[in-house]
Structure 1
Amino acid sequence: MSRQRAGRGTRTSTRTSTRTRARAESREHARTRARIRTLAAITSAVALTLSLAACSGTAAGAGSGGGRPLVVVTTNILGDVVAELAGDRAEVLTLMPPGSDPHSFEVSASEGAQLREAALVVANGLGLEEGLERHVESAAADGVEVFEAGDHLEVIAYADGTEAAGVADPHFWTDPARMTDVVEVLGAHLAELDGLDDTARAEVQANTTAYLDEIAALDADMTEAFAAIPPERRALVTNHHVFGYLADRFGFRVVGAVVPGGTTLAAPSASDLRELVAAIDEAGVPTIFAESSQPDRLVQVLADEADRDVAVVELVTESLTAPGEGAATYLTMMRLNTERIATGLSP
């Protein structure tokens, strides 16, 4: 399905090569970090082998939920989306619990075994899940179908001036239009899972259509809320680079981030912090946004060091909250962040 989106900027003709290079650099970035954990990887591999042996009598792709196909999802944001689309027609196992840092989360041996038993694995695919990538690759090598969201959207790279410059930015969900791109294709994949009858397929298709309507409503509300912010105040400072897609879509400037790279595993130097304080003062930033799953100590230091009154507002960006904590679904998370950004940057 082709959708025209108002507000998205003009892209250069070199986008395909940039996306390919960025994705390759992102994967290499994740693999480099994975090599650091060699001893843990060996131990996990042994445990995984034993676990697989114990599970050898289970039919591939058939979960424990009454013969329904098993769909294993890496992040809880994508897990929520898959659950909305699949409804009761698939058993959905989301690996990351609420409040997880997707950059540092590591899977257990038993969960690693379940990836190999899945009918479908759903992953971000842009280097976000650094501790899970080898398990996803192993499942794919064993013949498990893997859906990587990054293959179905227009990817952007981290901007020049960041430690991750040129690497693919995995935080696509901050732009609902790009989430729409993913959901359209993901819904079709889920509807074609083995073991679904015609009634089940029709239900998944109906769920997908309904969810796309909800994302469209979210998109319209975000557009309206951000349009009320004067252009000169659309300046974002966060604890790490997570809003590249939102900025690209809705006309924000990313002034900087406390953590200079694209992953929370990086660390800022004293000079990084001094430069960011200067940028905050120069841009007249009224609010710094802190990710709820990360410590905000450095963000508070930045606010105190700035030569102006700067507020610190918490957002939920990389991981959903537990039920009842305000952002337990993708849609509620996005609405919460929209309201807080609009309030924090409005005059």
Structure 2
Amino acid sequence: MTTPTRGTRWLSALLTLVLAGAATACTSSDDRPRVVVTTNILGDITQQIVGDEADVTVLMKPNADPHSFGLSAVQAAELERADLVVFNGLGLEENVLRHVAAARESGVATFEAGKAVDPLTFRTHGDGRPEGEAGQQDPHFWTDPDRVREAAGLIAAQVVENVDGVDEKTIRANADRYDEQLADLTAWMEKSFARIPDKRRALVTNHHVFGYLADRFGFRVIGAVIPSGTTLASPSSSDLRSLTQAMREAGVRTVFADSSQPNRLAEVLRNEMDGGVRVVELYSESLTEKGKGAGTYLQMMRANTTAMIDGLTGA
């Protein structure tokens, strides 16, 4: 039998230490508290609050459609391993909500942000045309930064209550700092929108997504190319005729289309109006990758405000 040399014993000991360290690191990572968030807009908001106190996993990729994105088996499993699941709700994440329900049934704490911030309902126009699904709750609350302030405070409370191992003072401090940034955003949006004359504060969008912004900042919603609160619906020829008539009556020649979706339907509307319709892209339902125009919620809202002013004033 060969006796190990001094160098061999030293290498063996070193390898043992390295493997032990790696195992410890893996265990430490596995033991980290986890927050899983469905949409990337809520993901950014939650990350601002959580900071480094827990791992935040966002299921929805940049530039995705919250109405249609789905989960892999691995992502679905992550929901059931979370300490807290934050989701928009009100029917927004149409292919994901059943997985959230399964996680809740398995004992995971879940928080439905949209339901907690006094949601609006889709309204009906005076001529009987539906705005989205009349009477149903509108899930797109994030277009009102004041409701996002409320949601952010509630998310902080949920993290403190349900995620073991986080430092409450740090979470509260992060939430307070972000609340100040959101308050500054609201003030800036109010000042910026003041540049748009009242008669031009009329919105036509790809689908009904800006009801909260309209309610908060005094806009009129003329209609949408897709007369629904979801991108999964399709307009009929009569829908398009009704919308073009309403646009002519209101003197509206600008359509705002979601940047994460092809604007084919808005182009169809341009044809219905015999040209002369301007299509302006907004970041309405998804953040972009970092550095691509709307990498955070704050960047998205500022970019949208600027684009809306440009689209409605011709600046």
Pairwise TM-score range, normalised by the shorter structure: 0.7 to 0.9
Q: 2:304 matched to 1:337?
A: yes
Corresponding letter in the other structure for 1:208? A
Is the Cα–Cα contact under 8 Å of residues 246 and 252 in structure 1 kept in the other structure? yes
1:279 aligns with 246
**1:147 counterpart (111, 125, 129):** 111
Task: Tell me how far apart the structure 2 counterparts of residues 67 and 169 of structure 1 sit (CA, whole Å).
Answer: 37
1:173 aligns with 142
Larger radius of gyration: 2
Task: Tell me how far apart the structure 2 counterparts of residues 107 and 73 of structure 1 sit (CA, whole Å).
Answer: 12
TM-score by length of 1: 0.79
Corresponding letter in the other structure for 1:196? G
Is the Cα–Cα contact under 8 Å of residues 65 and 91 in structure 1 kept in the other structure? no
What does 1:1-347 align with in structure 2 at a 5 Å threshold?
Answer: 65=29, 67-160=31-124, 161-162=129-130, 164-196=133-165, 200-306=167-273, 309-346=276-313
Q: Secondary structure at the match of 2:308?
A: helix
1:4 aligns with none
| TM superposition shift of 1:87 | 0.5
Is the Cα–Cα contact under 8 Å of residues 281 and 307 in structure 1 kept in the other structure? no
Can you list the C-alpha shifts for 1:61-113, whole angstroms capped at 9, x where unaligned? x9973632110100000000111110011100100000110001111111111
Can you list the C-alpha shifts for 1:23-55, whole angstroms capped at 9, x where unaligned? xxxxxxxxxxxxxxxxxxxxxxxxxxxxxxxxx
Is the Cα–Cα contact under 8 Å of residues 192 and 201 in structure 1 kept in the other structure? no
| TM superposition shift of 1:156 | 0.7
TM-score by length of 2: 0.87
Is the Cα–Cα contact under 8 Å of residues 84 and 163 in structure 2 kept in the other structure? no
- Residue segments in structure 1 that go unaligned for 5+ positions in a row: 1-61
Task: Tell me how far apart the structure 2 counterparts of residues 64 and 243 of structure 1 sit (CA, whole Å).
Answer: 43
Task: Tell me how far apart the structure 2 counterparts of residues 133 and 287 of structure 1 sit (CA, whole Å).
Answer: 34
CA RMSD of aligned residues (A): 1.7
Task: Tell me how far apart the structure 2 counterparts of residues 126 and 334 of structure 1 sit (CA, whole Å).
Answer: 21
Task: Tell me how far apart the structure 1 counterparts of residues 163 and 71 of structure 2 sit (CA, whole Å).
Answer: 26
Task: Tell me how far apart the structure 2 counterparts of residues 304 and 64 of structure 1 sit (CA, whole Å).
Answer: 59
Greater displacement, 110-119 / 65-74? 65-74
1:83–1:223 CA distance, 2 compared to 1 (3 A): same
Q: Secondary structure at the match of 1:327?
A: coil
- In the alignment of these two chains, the number of paired residues is 284
Q: Percent identity?
A: 54
- Residue segments in structure 2 that go unaligned for 5+ positions in a row: 1-25
1:17 aligns with none
Task: Tell me how far apart the structure 2 counterparts of residues 167 and 322 of structure 1 sit (CA, whole Å).
Answer: 32
Is the Cα–Cα contact under 8 Å of residues 63 and 118 in structure 1 kept in the other structure? no
Task: Tell me how far apart the structure 1 counterparts of residues 176 and 219 of structure 2 sit (CA, whole Å).
Answer: 30
